[in-house]
């Protein structure tokens, strides 16, 4: 059988990290090993059909930028349009993987699979987790019927809409919260538990056109995240308002509750034309709206994803 190509795009991260000692799993420098080298070090990939690689970026994902997102979305769109490409795998740092996954789902809305994968241990570790994660990601990209942006880590497939990093160092560092994972990769075989990520609304089309020309931070609508906590005040919101912020996501407590001082400042910002959205700082559940809520809820999105959603709406 003539298999189509899988494209593996490298962006850096711990999966491409190097440490001075093989026994050091935390004292490494991320984004040192090229994606072609990573792939060459996985002999089992030779049985997985044709694979091509491209280095899109080489960064620690804590430093993810709008410029890299714009470039990545452009390359994803380019390869998705090739009839002989079955799907895309992206190697990425774990720290902002959930943001890139959500961004790509929103702007590319892919009908083919786009699979982000990563590692918690550097490539130089005694027992690195990256090679198995890449193999699993390719298995997902090869799976008939796979569609949309997902993340694969430690044998678990997460939807871009739900995935969240929940652990600082364990290999199984991601969760899909109460939505649960899409499925598992078991010895190279995908076992599905629920549907692939649903297609996003059509605003993706206009957003991608705008994003293609925007590599400059200054071009993106400024949307910031503020948090509710004991003793919160309106000071940060006031400062951001004075700086011309266009959107604010509040990581509220519980079911979207806000300290009265923070709420007053957010309502003032809203009255001044700033778009304000309420997400929850709880890792599970979603803000359930009540009649008459003055600040709209994030429709189940976490604060970081609600921020991307709001930026794209302001761009659209």
- Residue 128 is a binding residue for ligand SIN (CB under 6 A): no
- Residue 14 is a binding residue for ligand SIN (CB under 6 A): yes
- b/e per residue, 248-261, with b = 16+ CB within 10 A? bbbbbbeebebbee
Those residues with Cβ within 8 angstroms of residue 43's Cβ, 6 or more apart along the chain or in another chain: none
Among the listed residues 9, 28, 35, 93, the single contact to ligand SIN using CB under 6 A: 93
Write out the two tokens for 269: 């910002």
One-character DSSP codes across 262-292: HHHHHHHHHHTT-EEEEEESSSSS-PPP-TT
- Toward ligand SIN, which CB reaches closer, 12 or 87? 12
- Residue 13 is a binding residue for ligand SIN (CB under 6 A): yes
Q: Tell me the per-residue interface mask from 21 to 40 with ligand SIN, x by CB under 6 A, - otherwise.
A: ---------x----------
Write out the two tokens for 6: 């899988």
- Residue 124 is a binding residue for ligand SIN (CB under 6 A): no
Going by C-alpha positions, the residue among 219, 211, 288, 278 that lies closest to residue 248 is: 278
- Toward ligand SIN, which CB reaches closer, 20 or 193? 20
Active site residue 124: no
Task: Give the bridge partners for 276, in sequence order.
Answer: 248
Among the listed residues 85, 118, 185, 204, the single contact to ligand SIN using CB under 6 A: 118
- Residue 120 is a binding residue for ligand SIN (CB under 6 A): yes
- Toward ligand SIN, which CB reaches closer, 58 or 210? 58
Among the listed residues 36, 54, 60, 219, the single contact to ligand SIN using CB under 6 A: 60
Specify the pairing of strand 156-159 against strand 183-186. Answer: antiparallel
Query: What is the contact surface with ligand SIN in residues (CB under 6 A)?
Result: 12-14, 30, 60-62, 93-95, 118, 120
The set of catalytic residues is 14
């Amino acid at each position: 059988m003539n298999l189509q190509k899988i494209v593996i795009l490298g962006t850096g991260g711990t999966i491409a990290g190097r440490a001075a000692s093989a026994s050091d799993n935390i004292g490494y420098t991320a984004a040192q090993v090229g994606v072609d080298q990573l792939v060459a070090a996985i002999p089992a990939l030779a049985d997985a059909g044709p694979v091509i690689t491209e280095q899109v970026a080489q960064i620690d994902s804590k430093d993810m930028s709008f410029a890299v997102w714009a470039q990545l979305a452009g390359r994803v769109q380019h390869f998705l349009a090739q009839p002989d490409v079955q799907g895309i795998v992206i190697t990425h740092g774990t720290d902002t993987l959930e943001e890139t996954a959500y961004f790509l789902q929103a702007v590319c809305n892919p009908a083919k699979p786009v699979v982000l994968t990563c590692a918690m241990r550097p490539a130089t570790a005694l027992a690195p987790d990256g090679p198995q994660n890449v193999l699993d990601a390719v298995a997902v990209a090869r799976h008939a019927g796979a569609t949309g942006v997902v993340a694969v880590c430690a044998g678990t497939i997460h939807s871009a809409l739900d995935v969240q990093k929940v652990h600082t160092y364990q290999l199984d560092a991601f969760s899909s919260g109460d939505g649960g994972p899409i499925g598992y990769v078991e010895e190279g075989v995908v076992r599905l538990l629920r549907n692939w990520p649903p297609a996003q609304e059509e605003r993706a089309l206009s957003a991608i056109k705008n994003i293609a020309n925007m590599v400059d931070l200054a071009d993106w609508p400024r949307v910031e995240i503020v948090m509710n906590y004991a003793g919160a005040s309106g000071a940060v919101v006031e400062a951001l308002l004075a700086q011309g912020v266009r959107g604010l996501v509040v990581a509220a407590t519980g079911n979207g509750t806000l300290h009265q001082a923070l709420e007053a400042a957010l309502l003032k910002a809203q009255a001044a034309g700033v778009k304000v959205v309420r997400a929850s700082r709880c890792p599970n559940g979603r803000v359930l709206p009540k009649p008459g809520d003055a600040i709209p809820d994030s429709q189940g999105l976490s604060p970081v994803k609600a921020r991307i959603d709001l930026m794209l709406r302001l761009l659209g």
